[in-house]
């Protein structure tokens, strides 16, 4: 490659049907293949097709560019499948499957061209919003396309501007807007008006209406008319030009022929048929693209013999309907580009190269960096990362229903090795009562008191805690506790991490870890964060679970630890040190503590982007942030939020979680030598699943 591809995909979306999306897909594919060794192609939603058929768009791109991609891997859903799932309120399943299929393609290619849906048939009214949602969740920038047919200049420009606003409002970056099928005389005028109304970073383009691309081929006419090919089948990909009905006398009709003319005439008009074929051979008349015989009539045998000597390069087809109906049907055909029609493909690529600012666009594509990560993509990346290097996690609360359900999901996905603590017989009975088909041969079940390592663990605990007046008998009593036993498994390397707290308090879960796993050498305080998966972004909240009233020094360490956690999970930290005032406006002990903590962060970790004290609205709202802190590189775009105390943090995360239906993953404990994570006693199965996945990823760094 000429350059390292920072961005790996682009989403092509239209505002309406028949916008000419193929010209953009083909042109971009040709352009990108000059910059990347392997370019993939993906369509989240395709039109419904019959069993055994393949989607025309996918077939065209894969065939022409010889992509190493199977048809079934190049799309996620058929249109009817999406409508059915939406009616069943399964939007999450739709997005989840699309992400899975897209990422599978992305993993195999240097760059992926994603082509949105086509606004045809049932469900078209909601397709624009679906395309915006898909682009957002894939985390890729968009190119927006609109057709100029039937629109005034103001309508066309307004249409593209509204589409741009819709994408931006959902956090999708737009690289380019393209007005397609416009009057060639108005190209510059349209581009000038688009550039006037849109930000300077948006590349505005206009492509003229090209009759070669809008006119159907003879093959498309055959399919639309259910016609029969009589002669010249090798040339049915000829592009039809102007079509006219041969109903007048031949001497008059010949004067109406134009280049690539399509002749429509009743099948018994031998004079028109033979005269048109002779004109095709003559240097004095234009070439024909084909002849359509109507009424289901075919010429007599003697005429057919004459035709056979004249029709080597002119396809002749027979349509069952009358001339009037056939002419109307041909006029209504919406021509498409398909794999065999290489003339149209080449024309499309040339039109793209001629009228689109290609070099500027490819530069934006290559250097674009996605800002933030969506919750869906975040969860996908977590699972993928966990599966890339499986770890062994112990779950002390083996009898809890939520723990067992999460265990089954994790085992089914082959994401982790799990040990459950508890009585095996009781766990088996619980699974039977829940009708939960968990294969117990795939997990390890340990009852601490009956464990072969109970004595060894007790003696280890005694050695570690005897300076605190813990004798062997006390150590044995403690080791019967599942929290102590699970933590000792992690300490001894018999498990890579532990997740507990579904039925135990935070103190019960964390105390053993503090006693003998202890904190990292560079860390003096254990803290926690939540990954808050909001509608369109993932934020990090800390500390919302452990430290009631941290000092300025402790706050600074919590922030630095939270930044490290963010980086480990693919989030570029922009830290907001929250308070009831922003900048220098506030005074008081609480705000001074936050101000001091911010200064300490700048000294300890000068590479971090941090702002404080700052109010929450100034941290997340760009308009408010620029008003209150105009020179800040964090205000309005913070993604790591450090609360001044536990009361504020805990209440805020729960309020946001409940009111916005956000998924809160955590608390994730940071600062320990080995990963031990706590759960809320009100946690769900999904909470446990996600926390185990996070713990696996933490364990990969030890």
Q: Is residue 568 part of a domain?
A: no
Q: Is the domain of 187 the same as that of 106?
A: yes
Cα–Cα nearest to 640, from 508, 535, 544, 512: 544
Task: Give the strands of the sheet with 444-446, arranged side by side.
Answer: 444-446, 417-421, 392-395, 497-500, 676-678
Q: Is the domain of 200 the same as that of 227?
A: no
In CATH, what number is assigned to the domain containing residue 308?
3.40.1390.20
Q: Is residue 384 part of a domain?
A: no
User: Which carries the bigger pLDDT value, residue 119 or residue 285?
Assistant: 285
pLDDT at 381: 82
- Inform me whether the pLDDT recorded for 609 exceeds 90: yes
Peptide bond into 543 cis (omega under 30): yes
| Residue 371 binned pLDDT confidence (cut-offs 50, 70, 90) | low
- Cα dist from 439 to 271, 406, 436, whole Å: 80, 13, 9
User: Which carries the bigger pLDDT value, residue 513 or residue 375?
Assistant: 513
pLDDT at 1: 28
Cα–Cα distance measured from residue 557 to residue 231, given in angstroms and rounded to the nearest whole number: 82
pLDDT at 447: 93
CA 319 to the chain's CA centroid: 45
pLDDT tens-digit series, residues 123-160: 455 778 888 888 888 888 999 999 888 899 889 989 89
Q: Look up the domain containing 293 and give its range.
A: 216-334
Q: Is the domain of 142 the same as that of 236?
A: no
Q: Is the domain of 48 the same as that of 101?
A: yes
- Inform me whether the pLDDT recorded for 373 exceeds 80: no
Q: Is the domain of 221 the same as that of 271?
A: yes
pLDDT average, residue stretch 161-181? 89
Q: Is the domain of 199 the same as that of 300?
A: no
- Say which range, 310-319, 419-428, 563-572, 653-662, has the weakest mean pLDDT: 310-319
pLDDT average, residue stretch 598-622? 91
pLDDT at 372: 63
- Say which range, 212-226, 413-427, 506-520, has the weakest mean pLDDT: 212-226
Cα–Cα nearest to 554, from 524, 521, 591: 524
Q: Is residue 173 part of a domain?
A: yes
pLDDT at 541: 94
Q: Is the domain of 98 the same as that of 190?
A: yes
- Cα dist from 190 to 22, 151, 184, 296, whole Å: 21, 12, 10, 47
- Inform me whether the pLDDT recorded for 426 exceeds 90: yes
β partners of residue 266: 294
483 with 660: CB under 8 angstroms?
no
Cα–Cα nearest to 260, from 285, 225, 294: 285
Cα–Cα distance measured from residue 306 to residue 295, given in angstroms and rounded to the nearest whole number: 21
Peptide bond into 301 cis (omega under 30): no
pLDDT tens-digit series, residues 294-328: 988 888 888 888 787 766 678 888 889 888 888 88
Q: Is residue 505 part of a domain?
A: no
pLDDT average, residue stretch 491-504? 91
pLDDT at 7: 55
Q: Is residue 555 part of a domain?
A: no
Q: Is the domain of 226 the same as that of 167?
A: no
pLDDT tens-digit series, residues 655-673: 988 888 888 888 889 988 9
pLDDT at 3: 33
pLDDT at 490: 93
Q: Is residue 605 part of a domain?
A: no
Q: Is residue 47 part of a domain?
A: yes
Question: What single string gives the DSSP state of each residue in 169-237?
Answer: HTT--EEEEEEEEE-GGGHHHHHHHHHHHS-TTSEEEEEE--HHHHSPBHHHHHHHHT-EEEE-GGGTT
Q: Is the domain of 194 the same as that of 86?
A: yes
| Residue 55 binned pLDDT confidence (cut-offs 50, 70, 90) | confident
Cα–Cα distance measured from residue 581 to residue 631, given in angstroms and rounded to the nearest whole number: 16
DSSP state of 385: H
Q: Is the domain of 151 the same as that of 166?
A: yes
pLDDT tens-digit series, residues 5-17: 345 889 999 888 7
pLDDT at 4: 36
In CATH, what number is assigned to the domain containing residue 158?
3.40.50.300
Residue 507's CB is within 10 A of a number of other CB atoms, namely 12
The mean of the pLDDT values for the chain is 86
Our count of domains for the chain comes to 2
676 with 487: CB under 8 angstroms?
yes
Cα–Cα distance measured from residue 100 to residue 93, given in angstroms and rounded to the nearest whole number: 10
pLDDT tens-digit series, residues 433-444: 888 888 888 899
pLDDT at 311: 62
Q: Is the domain of 68 the same as that of 187?
A: yes
43 with 11: CB under 8 angstroms?
no
| Residue 370 binned pLDDT confidence (cut-offs 50, 70, 90) | low
Task: Give the strands of the sheet with 228-231, arranged side by side.
Answer: 228-231, 316-318, 288-294, 261-266, 243-245
pLDDT at 6: 47
pLDDT tens-digit series, residues 239-294: 787 777 877 888 878 888 888 888 888 888 888 888 888 888 888 888 888 889 89
Per-residue 3-state assignment (H helix, E strand, C coil) for 78-96: EHHHHHHHHHCCCHHHHHH
Q: Is residue 109 part of a domain?
A: yes
Helices (H) and strands (E) in the chain, counts: 28, 23
| Residue 480 binned pLDDT confidence (cut-offs 50, 70, 90) | very high
Buried b (16+ CB within 10 A) or exposed e, 198-217: beeebbbbbbbebeebebbb
- Cα dist from 506 to 483, 642, 649, 675, whole Å: 11, 20, 16, 15
DSSP state of 354: H
Q: Is the domain of 186 the same as that of 304?
A: no
For the CA atoms of the chain, what is the radius of gyration? 33
Handedness of CA 138, 143, 144, 147 (dihedral sign): negative
């Amino acid at each position: 490659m000429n350059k390292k591809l920072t961005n790996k995909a682009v989403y092509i979306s239209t505002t309406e049907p028949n916008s000419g999306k193929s010209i953009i897909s083909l042109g971009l594919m040709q352009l990108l293949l000059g910059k990347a060794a392997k370019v993939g192609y993906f369509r989240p939603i395709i039109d419904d097709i019959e069993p055994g058929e393949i989607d025309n768009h996918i077939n065209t791109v894969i065939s022409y560019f010889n992509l190493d991609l199977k048809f079934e891997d190049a799309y996620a859903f058929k249109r009817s499948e999406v409508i059915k799932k939406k009616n069943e309120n399964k939007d999450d399943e739709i997005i989840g499957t699309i992400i899975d299929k897209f990422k599978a393609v992305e993993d195999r290619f240097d760059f992926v061209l994603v082509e949105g849906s086509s606004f045809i048939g049932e469900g078209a009214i909601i397709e624009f919003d679906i395309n915006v949602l898909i682009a957002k969740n894939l985390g890729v920038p968009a190119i927006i396309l609109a057709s100029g047919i039937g629109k005034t200049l103001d309508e066309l420009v307004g249409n593209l501007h509204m589409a741009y606003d819709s994408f931006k409002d959902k956090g999708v970056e737009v690289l380019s807007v393209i007005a397609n099928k416009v009057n060639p005389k108005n190209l510059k005028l349209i581009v000038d008006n688009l550039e006037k109304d849109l930000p300077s970073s948006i590349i505005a383009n206009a492509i003229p209406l090209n009759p070669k691309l809008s006119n159907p081929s003879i093959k498309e006419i055959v399919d639309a008319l259910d016609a029969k090919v009589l002669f010249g089948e090798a040339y049915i990909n000829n592009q039809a030009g102007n079509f006219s009905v041969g109903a007048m006398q031949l001497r008059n009709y010949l004067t109406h022929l134009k280049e690539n003319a399509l002749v429509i005439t009743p099948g018994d008009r031998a004079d028109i048929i033979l005269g048109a074929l002779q004109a095709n051979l003559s240097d004095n008349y234009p070439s024909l693209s084909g002849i359509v015989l109507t009424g289901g009539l075919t010429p007599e045998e003697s005429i057919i013999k004459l035709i056979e000597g004249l029709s080597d390069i002119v396809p002749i087809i027979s349509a069952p309907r009358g001339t009037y109906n056939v002419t109307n049907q041909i006029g209504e055909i919406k021509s498409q580009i398909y794999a065999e029609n290489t003339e149209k493909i080449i024309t499309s690529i040339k039109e793209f190269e001629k009228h689109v600012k290609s070099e500027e666009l490819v530069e934006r594509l290559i250097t674009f960096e996605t800002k933030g990560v969506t919750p869906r993509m975040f969860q996908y990346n977590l699972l993928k990362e966990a599966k890339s290097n499986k770890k062994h996690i112990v779950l002390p609360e083996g009898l809890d229903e939520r723990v067992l359900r999460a265990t089954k999901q994790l085992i089914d996905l082959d994401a982790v090795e799990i040990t459950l603590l508890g009585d095996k017989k009781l766990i088996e009975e619980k699974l039977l009562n829940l009708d939960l088909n968990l294969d117990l041969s795939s997990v390890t079940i340990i009852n601490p008191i009956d464990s072969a390592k109970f004595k060894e663990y007790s003696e280890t605990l005694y050695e570690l805690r005897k300076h605190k007046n813990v004798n062997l008998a006390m150590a044995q009593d403690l080791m019967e506790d599942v929290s102590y036993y699970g933590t000792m498994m992690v300490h001894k390397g018999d498990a890579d991490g532990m997740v507990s707290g579904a039925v135990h308090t935070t103190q019960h879960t964390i105390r053993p870890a503090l006693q003998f796993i202890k904190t990292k050498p560079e860390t003096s305080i254990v803290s926690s964060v939540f990954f808050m998966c909001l509608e369109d972004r993932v934020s990090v909240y800390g500390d919302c679970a452990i430290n009631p009233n941290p000092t300025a020094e402790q706050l600074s360490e919590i922030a630095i630890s939270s930044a490290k956690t963010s980086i480990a999970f693919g989030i570029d930290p922009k830290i907001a040190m929250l308070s009831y005032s922003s900048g220098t406006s506030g005074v008081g002990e609480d705000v001074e503590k936050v101000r001091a903590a911010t200064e300490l962060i700048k000294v300890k970790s000068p590479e971090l982007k941090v702002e404080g004290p700052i109010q929450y609205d100034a941290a997340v709202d760009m308009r408010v942030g620029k008003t209150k802190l105009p020179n800040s590189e964090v205000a309005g775009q913070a993604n790591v939020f450090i609360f001044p105390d536990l009361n504020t943090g805990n209440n805020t995360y729960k309020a946001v979680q409940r009111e916005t239906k956000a998924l809160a993953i955590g608390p994730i404990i940071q600062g320990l030598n080995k990963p031990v994570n706590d759960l809320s006693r009100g946690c769900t199965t999904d909470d446990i699943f996600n926390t185990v996945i996070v713990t696996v990823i933490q364990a990969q760094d030890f």
